[in-house]
Amino acid sequence: MTRAFNFSPGPAMLPESVLRQAQATMLEFGSTGASILEISHRGADFIAVAQKAEADLRTLLAIPDDYAVIFTAGGATTVQALLPLNFAAPGQAADYVVSGHWGKTALKQAAPCVDARIAASSEAGGFRDVPGRAQWRLSPDAAYVHVTANETIHGVEWQNIPEAGNAPLIADFSSSIASEPLDISKFGIVYAGAQKNLGPVGITVVIVRRDLLERAGQPRAPIFDYRAQAQAESMLNTPPSWNWYVLGLTVQWMLEQGGVAEFARRNAGKAALLYAAIDDSGGFYRNDVAAAARSRMNVPFFLHDAALDKVFLDEAKQAGLLALKGHRVLGGMRASLYNAMPEAGVQALVTFMQEFKQRHG
């Protein structure tokens, strides 16, 4: 079998050129005499890799100088657990705007260490839309306001995240970072697990406005202190160095492809193509998300007859279209269209869907 179009929500498809570079350095990295996987994170060779990854990421995302960039392990969920410890006083309120499963997770991770409040939620409507700014009930004393930029399971994305007011806005961009231009300065913190749009599994990026690092937070282990982590350039302990390296390769690839403006163009095109195929299927396929909140990255859809789901997945796999099964929370199908998914992959999916409908309609 050859490499297929992989619609996995994450770990997700990577550019073949990135994989080939990772492959080429698996036994020997440059003139080091060792694999990139075997060299010390504190040696000059890896430090150069780490610094280039950060510099390139700063270029790609236009990260202002007054923001630190932390590379860390543990995924976005661990970041969610550490937000109150670093940025809220004991017992302080924190506002959560919930537009899907991952917004709920963010709140659950914070709840043991902060007065976590649901400022707004679209759960009553089945997470088929974002809760508009008019619905937000913000706490005057909140340490921060948390939003999920794109909900990977429910396929709900903010087109423009509203201003929060006085409290800094913290946004989980795990599944949409680098998919289009973003004004980082609107946020106190932007964070993202890398395994969707930034490259490999096993590394997470936290972009944090430096003044927030001065907050006292709550008693916590030194390893959980983001201020110390920023000062130590993300090397308080051994970082996931190989994963950091592959993130750097992926960021470099995005820059070479034209940066986030180019990916915004491609991603809009890919999403439009797939949503049109769903909407024009006469009800054979269905996506229930409000038009203005439809995700460009994750497109959940349902067949008109769930009895066809297994056949659809089997035939898709035979056609080289992988990982289209929807999350167990929703069922149905889901196609993830991150930056590394080429338009040809979406074209192939749409063609398959049309042919499948003809065969089974």
User: Total residues contacting its own copies (rule CB under 8 A)?
Assistant: 68
Contact mark string toward its own copies, 75..104, x via CB under 8 A: xxxx-xx-----------------------
Under rule CB under 8 A, residue 242 binds its own copies: yes
Q: Which two tokens stand for residue 125?
A: 């409507």
CB of 3 to its own copies, least distance (A): 6
Instruction: Please work out, in degrees rounded to the nearest 5, the angle formed at the alpha carbon of residue 194 by the alpha carbons of 82 and 14.
Output: 165
**Type of residue numbered 281:** S
Under rule CB under 8 A, residue 306 binds its own copies: no
Q: Which of 96, 187, 224, 312 binds its own copies (CB under 8 A)?
A: 224
CA Rg, the chain, in Å?
Answer: 21
Task: Choose one: 132-140, 182-190, 219-227, 255-263; the region binding its own copies (CB under 8 A).
Answer: 219-227
Residue 134 or 221: the one with the smaller Cβ distance to its own copies is 221
Alpha helices in the chain (DSSP H): 16-24, 44-61, 75-87, 101-110, 226-231, 241-257, 259-279, 309-318, 343-360
Under rule CB under 8 A, residue 339 binds its own copies: no
Residue 83 or 169: the one with the smaller Cβ distance to its own copies is 83
**207, 69 in Cβ contact below 8 A?**
yes
Under rule CB under 8 A, residue 2 binds its own copies: yes
Q: Which two tokens stand for residue 151?
A: 């909900």
Q: Which of 52, 186, 220, 286 binds its own copies (CB under 8 A)?
A: 220
Under rule CB under 8 A, residue 8 binds its own copies: yes
Q: Which of 35, 51, 231, 351 binds its own copies (CB under 8 A)?
A: 35
Active site residues: 102, 172, 196
Phi and psi torsions of 200, nearest 5°:
-90, 165
Q: Torsion angle, CA of 70/220/95/154, rounded to 10 degrees?
A: 60
CB atoms within 10 A of CB 52: 15
**DSSP-assigned letters across all residues of 81-149:** HHHHHHHS-TT-EEEEEE-SHHHHHHHHHHGGGSEEEEEEE-GGGTS-S---GGG----TT-S-EEEES
Contact mark string toward its own copies, 172..191, x via CB under 8 A: --------------------
Under rule CB under 8 A, residue 215 binds its own copies: no
**How many whole angstroms separate alpha carbon 353 and alpha carbon 357?**
6
Phi and psi torsions of 158, nearest 5°:
-70, 130
Residue 242 or 275: the one with the smaller Cβ distance to its own copies is 242
Under rule CB under 8 A, residue 41 binds its own copies: yes
Q: Which of 47, 73, 232, 313 binds its own copies (CB under 8 A)?
A: 73
CB of 326 to its own copies, least distance (A): 12
Q: Which two tokens stand for residue 75?
A: 């995924």
Closest CA to 323 of 304, 341, 347, 303: 341
Under rule CB under 8 A, residue 193 binds its own copies: yes
Under rule CB under 8 A, residue 1 binds its own copies: yes
**213, 68 in Cβ contact below 8 A?**
yes
Task: Choose one: 61-69, 194-202, 303-311, 346-354; the region binding its own copies (CB under 8 A).
Answer: 194-202
Q: Which of 51, 231, 237, 351 binds its own copies (CB under 8 A)?
A: 237
Contact residues: its own copies, CB under 8 A: 1-4, 6, 8-14, 16, 19-20, 22-23, 26-28, 31-35, 37-41, 43, 73-78, 80-81, 108-110, 112-113, 193, 195, 200-203, 219-224, 236-243, 246, 320, 322-323
